[in-house]
Amino acid sequence: QAQPVESGGGLVQPGESLRLSCPASGFHLDGWTVGWFRQAPGKEREGVSCMSPDDGSTSYSNSVKGRFTMSRDFAKSTVYLQMNSLKPEDTGVYFCAAGLMYGADCLVAQYYDTWGRGTRVTVSS
């Protein structure tokens, strides 16, 4: 079971898009719940999005709903977070996490077992 390694962060202007990637090396997309979390400067970590392994259904925080989309690619064994219409308040370090869950709220960090080191997203004009 390998640690997730996130990628895709960078510096963009408001209104632009980024796609974050989380390769599922060491765990299985058809059995593990995968979530995205972020920590903005001076703020606590918050849940952004998560996906159920059973049917790929997704959940989103209110702050990103309608702008962010989570998806998975079984052929590449990778989970993605497409971030559109980025705002300065989206700035922060984004973490990919994975865990085995049984009906738990997948936007709650304590239910995850394995965490990546994070990829930094900066939205600034």
Tell me: the pLDDT tens digits for 55-86?
899 999 999 999 999 999 988 999 999 999 99
Which stretches of the chain score pLDDT less than 50?
none
CB 3 within 8 A of CB 115: yes
CB 35 within 8 A of CB 97: yes
- Give the separation between CA 39 and CA 51, rounded to whole angstroms: 19
Q: What's 118's DSSP letter?
A: -
Query: What pLDDT was estimated at residue 65?
Result: 97
- CA 49 from chain center: how many Å? 6
- Give the separation between CA 34 and CA 58, rounded to whole angstroms: 10
Query: What pLDDT was estimated at residue 28?
Result: 79
Query: What pLDDT was estimated at residue 74?
Result: 87
